[in-house]
Amino acid sequence: MVNGSYLSAKQRKNRGGKRHEDRYFRPPAPVCDPSGARFCISLQTMKKYLFLALLAASAFLPARAQQNVKDSVVSCVGFGFSYAAQMPRGDLAQRFGNNSNVGATFWGKTKKNYWFGLHWNYLFSQNLKEKGVLDSIATSDGLVINKEGKYSDVQLYQRGFALYVSAGKIFPKAFGANQNSGLMLTGSVGYIQHRIRIIDNGSLTPPLSGDYLKGYDRLTGGLLVQEFAGYWFQGRKKRLNFYAGIECTQGFTQSMRSWDYDLMKADTSQRLELLWGIRAGWNIPIYRRPARDYYYY
């Protein structure tokens, strides 16, 4: 596999259109466990819950009157966008290599510099390390044949997301440029899910279409716990606002599928998945303008 491709261009050129025995196998497509023992959630459902959570958070964290960021601690809410480069460890490192992570955050900060956040992150990479994912439909030399009798052009990628809430504090006495900037420490809890995205270029391989893909995608999810230590900067002119630091994530996960075709059984093992990375983000604080006083004579 080179750059996420199960079959390189050189392999396809050298082997041409040589036919092999038809090894297509179509058992019932696996689905999320109907018993409810395994929690599976779709991306569309997560977006709906995220939108509802943002509305609820905005009600409990209203923007306060505009204050002097330089001289006093300001309570406010805001939005943020971030990027993280991450290295997997534990069970995750056996399946994927290094990945990228982009995220969006709705956050609030109190007058005592306590910080709260709601995050949605998207994970992606081309670094697949796990072997044998397509063994049940591959030839003896590890290649997949399409319905035209030629070698399939199949590409495998990592895709995933995380939804979690955070709480922490900003310590302005530690390297703080003003009363709203300084060392930032937070802890998080939430949900993480990832899978192998399988792309059959040309859509010529029947076993890699529709619900049959679920038998190969290794959909995995579970509890997320995360710690962050870094620096939070909230500018005096309210235009320059950013943060950066080290992020450590622990995932207590298991397979969400009832059957894996290459294993010929369900994967019931408990997994400990770790991610270490550096995250940097840009913030957009929202301040409410102070009410004006009117005097009548």
CATH number at residue 282: 2.40.160.20
Residue at 9 is within a domain: no
* Single-letter residue type at 294: Y
The per-residue pLDDT for 177 is 80
Position 123 pLDDT exceeds 60: yes
- What mean pLDDT do residues 111-137 have? 96
Q: What is the pTM of this model?
A: 0.78
pLDDT in tens, 63-102: 444 455 666 888 999 999 999 999 999 999 999 999 999 9
Q: Which domain holds residue 232?
A: 72-286
For the chain, the domain total comes to: 1
Q: Whole-angstrom Cα distance, residue 164 to residue 147?
A: 43
- What mean pLDDT do residues 225-247 have? 93
**Which residues on neighbouring strands pair with residue 190, listed in sequence order?**
164, 224
Percent of the chain predicted with pLDDT > 70: 73
Quickly state the pLDDT bin for 61 (edges 50, 70, 90).
very low
CB 245, CB 226: distance < 8 Å: no
The per-residue pLDDT for 238 is 72
Residue at 264 is within a domain: yes
* Single-letter residue type at 249: T
Residue at 50 is within a domain: no
CB 247, CB 224: distance < 8 Å: no
Residue at 15 is within a domain: no
The per-residue pLDDT for 12 is 46
Quickly state the pLDDT bin for 140 (edges 50, 70, 90).
confident
Residue at 271 is within a domain: yes
Position 30 pLDDT exceeds 90: no
Residue at 226 is within a domain: yes
Residue at 47 is within a domain: no
Residue at 30 is within a domain: no
